[in-house]
Structure 1
Amino acid sequence: MSHISDHIEIFLEKAIPGSYSKDLSRLYLDIMKGRISSRREFSATYGLRSSTVSELVNELVGKKLIYEVADVGTSRGRPAKKLILNQNLFVICIVRISSQTLICNAVNITGQVIEETRSTLNSGCNNGQMIAEVRKLYGDLLEKLSMGVSCAGIVFSLPGILSIERKNWIMSSRWPEINNLSIEDELQDMAVPIKVVRNIDSELRARLFKEDGENILLLHWGFGIGIAYSEGGDPINSKFGRFGEIGHWDLGIKDAEQCRCGRTGCLEVHCALWSIWPDMAQKWPELSKNEEDFMMQAAKFPLLEHNKIQQALRLMVSTLGNLCRVLFPSKILLSGPFFANDEVLAEFYRKFLDDGVLPHVSPPKLTYVHQSEQLETEGAAIPVIVAEIDKRLRHGEG
């Protein structure tokens, strides 16, 4: 099980007043976490009367949040009844991007991806084509779900610059023709709540579930380049959707090659997978330009032998050093497929400690973190899942 049950526990303790409501949420949570499997166990653990426990169980069953089934074979005579979580009562659809592949994940109550649809779009994709593809993938996803499983919301976890309040995708260098895409307006006929979040904020939020309250900087180096930063447990500027687009920092190098944002001199022109992949593919034709596939391959190739990687690594170290002079993080999380190569990671560590840290200043702790896509999905889904469970505990089916 993912971190979702831990966050439901924290949220429900704060959100639901009254002893009865707390008992209801406690029973639900104990079933979710596997601590309780019968009425008798719950009654004994919390010293509640059997009649009170029966009311609580009947309410959860009535709201379809749990099942109560016969535990066949546990004893002679009349079989005991077992309390089981209804994991697939509803799903949240997470729409996310891997390189230029559009992915729709159906995420259940426990954070498990139970179904997926995906499609790769060319770099000329525009607003209308993107919306049409989202509709198709979402429709295909619903058809794959079991009967009775509903979608309680769609979360778009997106790269680039967003307007969270207006639910607009302002720009992304992955598809230069997409700009000011009003996602909620375009999909209002789908009659499902829609939320928009920055993908790297989603990833950091999931990582913060396991981290303490330090100032944490997440640097992603992959198909694109970006950062998220947290002070005290929540990504900065996540309510606005505009922060850390360092891939489009102007290096002052006026290149012949144009960045996908339309400018020249951007960091991504020299370092991003979309830009340096063609040169790498000349030496290693089997290398994929899809970020997820490239991450699986990265460990198997001597990437540091390529001059493009050497140059990119130097620029990324310099960029991180400058970020540290602005933000002074206590911890840095390194994310993305290039860091999956042990030699690249070791050289990055070495150069950063040699060149990226100010004299007499304690260096931040650097950690390479795995499971970028999984954590992005969890970070996007958890707040919506928790809110939906809270609503159903209070009022029944949403």
Structure 2
Amino acid sequence: MNHPSRSLFIDLEKIPDLSKARKWDQERLKVFTTICLEPGISRKKIIGKLNMRPTSVSHLVQELLDASLVQEKDRIHQQSSGRPEIALYPVKNRFLAISFHIVAYTLKVALLNPFEEVIFSADRSLPPETSPAVFLKTLSELVDLAKHSVPEGSTLLGASIHLPGFMDTSKEVWIFAARWPKIRNLSFEKIRSAVGVPCSIDRMLDAALEYLLLREPEIQGKDILLVHWGYGIGAAFACRGQVLASNIGGVCEIGHWKVVEEGGMPCMCGSYGCLETVSSLWALLPVLKDSCGEIPEVEDEFAGFLSQHREIIESPVFRKALWSMGSVLGALFTTLFPNII
């Protein structure tokens, strides 16, 4: 994540279901949440903020101290007479997790704490001809680097793996990604084996939408369509705040909707006439390079290049790409009627 935060963006009380938990556990979470959201707060201020008994707060804070979840650091000197109060802070690196995602041809790994602070990061670039074995070996090496960077006293909870391309989540297979044509039908089991710690595996778009819903309280509970149009094309959809998943495959794989009636260019998925064959960056680049020379393949760089070469937008191949993409988005809108795109 690019911008570490000083405090939690996510309301911790919304994550666990404590409706059936003991009252003591619920109160302990409230105290811990307050310390996380207000680092440096004193016991006295917690008592006033949560309207709890002083003895209860004292015992709850001690439990959190014993579990190394919070720490005492500073003394808060009072203007009036009396004992100085002690400031409480969360132990930010008590629990850590590994995040793995892909940008263009680059594999990126990061070791993060719950405050979105990056403890360690590394990346490796892989060429288009990369085999599944090389991909898994590189993934394993990057994750090992992150594991060895876990500080003493921290607990590594696991890893979250976010992959581009087409996947069948029910059969747990990464079917393909446009960047690496040789990587096909790679099982989640092999990916988990390479990672070596408990891990979740998700489509990058689904993970991005889940994070967006957690990060932005004002959009929670709404119907949201997240669209990616770049080297590949895809989408994710949240209905009333819940990201949709299918028990027989993927959801919103719009890059493989048919937009060419007969024949057409072969797609990375093995079919013909898919939206990606006329509108994706991987399909457009060879044609555009014939007329424009060298063109960047990284999506952000291509966007900058396009803003400086507006004549490309007027070319027949690009106008067809725009029309096809617009047609699919129109159909998707009238099917889902999202509040936000």
What TM-score range do you get, normalising by the shorter chain? 0.7 to 0.9
Runs of 4+ in 1 over 6 A off after TM superposition: 72-78
1:216 aligns with 2:220: no
Supply the AA of the counterpart residue of 1:313: L
Answer yes or no: is the 8 Å Cα contact 1:227–1:245 preserved in 2: yes
| 1:229–1:148 distance in 2 versus 1, CA, 3 Å | same
Aligned partners of 2:285, 2:159: CA distance in 1, in Å?
32
Answer yes or no: is the 8 Å Cα contact 2:137–2:194 preserved in 1: no
Partner SS for 1:83: strand
Partner SS for 1:176: strand
1:196 aligns with 2:196: no
Aligned with 2:282 (options 271, 274, 279): 274
Aligned partners of 2:290, 2:151: CA distance in 1, in Å?
45
Aligned with 2:22 (options 8, 18, 25): 18
Higher helix share: 1
| 1:217–1:2 distance in 2 versus 1, CA, 3 Å | farther
Aligned partners of 2:160, 2:239: CA distance in 1, in Å?
24
Answer yes or no: is the 8 Å Cα contact 2:8–2:37 preserved in 1: no
RMSD: 3.0
- Of residues 13-22 and 98-107 in structure 1, the stretch that sits farther from structure 2 once superposed is 13-22
Shift of 1:144: 4.1
Shift of 1:215: 2.8
Answer yes or no: is the 8 Å Cα contact 2:100–2:109 preserved in 1: yes
Supply the AA of the counterpart residue of 2:321: A
Unaligned runs of 5+ in 2: none
The residue aligned with 1:304 is: 313
Aligned partners of 2:154, 2:76: CA distance in 1, in Å?
26
Shift of 1:12: 3.6
Shift of 1:135: 0.6
Supply the AA of the counterpart residue of 1:273: L
Aligned partners of 1:297, 1:136: CA distance in 2, in Å?
34
| 1:218–1:247 distance in 2 versus 1, CA, 3 Å | same
1:315 aligns with 2:327: no
TM-score after normalising by structure 2? 0.84
The residue aligned with 1:374 is: none
Supply the AA of the counterpart residue of 2:128: S
- Of residues 264-273 and 286-295 in structure 1, the stretch that sits farther from structure 2 once superposed is 286-295
Answer yes or no: is the 8 Å Cα contact 1:91–1:108 preserved in 2: yes
Aligned partners of 1:168, 1:18: CA distance in 2, in Å?
40
Aligned with 1:131 (options 129, 133, 136): 136
Kindly indicate whether structure 1 or structure 2 has the higher relative contact order, using CA contacts under 8 Å at least 6 residues apart.
1
- The size of the alignment, in residue pairs, is 332
Supply the AA of the counterpart residue of 1:88: N
Supply the AA of the counterpart residue of 2:258: D
Partner SS for 1:94: strand
| 1:286–1:3 distance in 2 versus 1, CA, 3 Å | farther
Q: Where do residues 146-295 of structure 1 align in structure 2 (5 Å cutoff)? A: 146-165=151-170, 167-188=172-193, 191-209=196-214, 210=216, 211-237=219-245, 242-252=250-260, 257-281=265-289, 287-295=295-303
| 1:186–1:236 distance in 2 versus 1, CA, 3 Å | closer
Aligned partners of 1:66, 1:280: CA distance in 2, in Å?
56
Shift of 1:46: 2.6
Partner SS for 1:314: helix
| 1:213–1:119 distance in 2 versus 1, CA, 3 Å | same
Higher strand share: 2
The residue aligned with 1:54 is: 58
The residue aligned with 1:28 is: 32
Aligned partners of 2:77, 2:119: CA distance in 1, in Å?
30
Aligned partners of 1:268, 1:95: CA distance in 2, in Å?
25
Aligned partners of 1:297, 1:67: CA distance in 2, in Å?
50
Answer yes or no: is the 8 Å Cα contact 1:251–1:267 preserved in 2: yes
Q: Deviations over 1:138-175 (max 9, x none)?
A: 12223444444442111111123334355432333332
Answer yes or no: is the 8 Å Cα contact 2:40–2:89 preserved in 1: no
Aligned partners of 2:92, 2:241: CA distance in 1, in Å?
28
Q: Deviations over 1:81-108 (max 9, x none)?
A: 1111122222221221222222212221
Answer yes or no: is the 8 Å Cα contact 1:30–1:36 preserved in 2: no
Unaligned runs of 5+ in 1: 334-398
Identity of aligned residues (%): 27
Supply the AA of the counterpart residue of 1:34: E
